[in-house]
Homo-oligomer: A and B are copies of this chain.
């Protein structure tokens, strides 16, 4: 926390940092939706039904085994109507996780407001990632097991959102260096890979085998451990 003695440039930086943080999360949580929005209420409802149905079917059967016809049926519409909304199965699959991802960012932004240090914010971020996956297992299964790594998401709204996920951590790691608890000698990108990798691996294992049983607890433990490890690197 900045002391009152510190003024001028330092103050400026602190203020810049706060605003940079807020605008980063603002931008991330409210990425522009698709250009063409539906005009009628009925259509908005239909769109939502499609997304819900798609999430269920994709999570149950996997994207490649899922059939457009099944999703349409589940949504209570005809196959051809679905094509009015999405031009292909791939297109649909890449749109499904977006709303949840935005919701996660928003929820995180709200919760992070009370945390002042980058250290606490990072801890919260990692813990919340795991917990959100547990709460929304269908979504998580789709995102982590089927879509995240896929190359073909490039140049998609979704790829940007996934990259945002990384950007937040990168931002906090750099602040961590400024705060002095992250080693400045380490490549920040490497540190990011370390953090995301550890947590994601935990989530993936849980999605595949339902182990560890308590993902929230395991996520917290992992997050605390990772941060403690980073701190250990500087104090020597």
Which residues of A pack against B, CB within 8 Å?
62-65, 90, 141, 144-146, 148-152, 154, 186-187, 189-190, 193-194, 196-202, 204-205, 207-208, 211-212, 218, 221-222, 225-226, 228-229, 232-233
Contacts and interface: CB of A to CB of B under 8 A. Distances in A.
A214 to B, nearest CB: 12
Q: What number of copies of this chain does the assembly contain?
A: 2
Which residue of A63, A145, A149, A196 has the most chain B CB atoms within 10 A of its CB atom? Answer: A149
Nearest to A192: B201
Contacts of A197: 194, 196-202
A150 B62 contact: yes
Given A194-B222, A194-B226, 7 more contacts: A151-B208, A186-B225, A187-B221, A189-B212, A190-B218, A190-B221, A229-B232
Interface of A is mostly: helix
Contacts of A190: 202, 212, 218, 221-222, 225
B222 A193 contact: yes
A229 to B, nearest CB: 4
Contacts of A186: 225
Given A144-B149, A201-B193, A64 B62 contact: no
A205 B225 CA distance: 23
Contact of A233 (B63, B152, B205, B232): B232
14 contacts: A62-B152, A63-B64, A64-B90, A141-B151, A145-B151, A148-B149, A193-B202, A193-B205, A196-B197, A197-B200, A200-B201, A229-B229, A229-B233, A232-B232
Nearest to A63: B64
B193 A198 contact: yes
Contacts of A218: 190
A196 B194 CA distance: 10
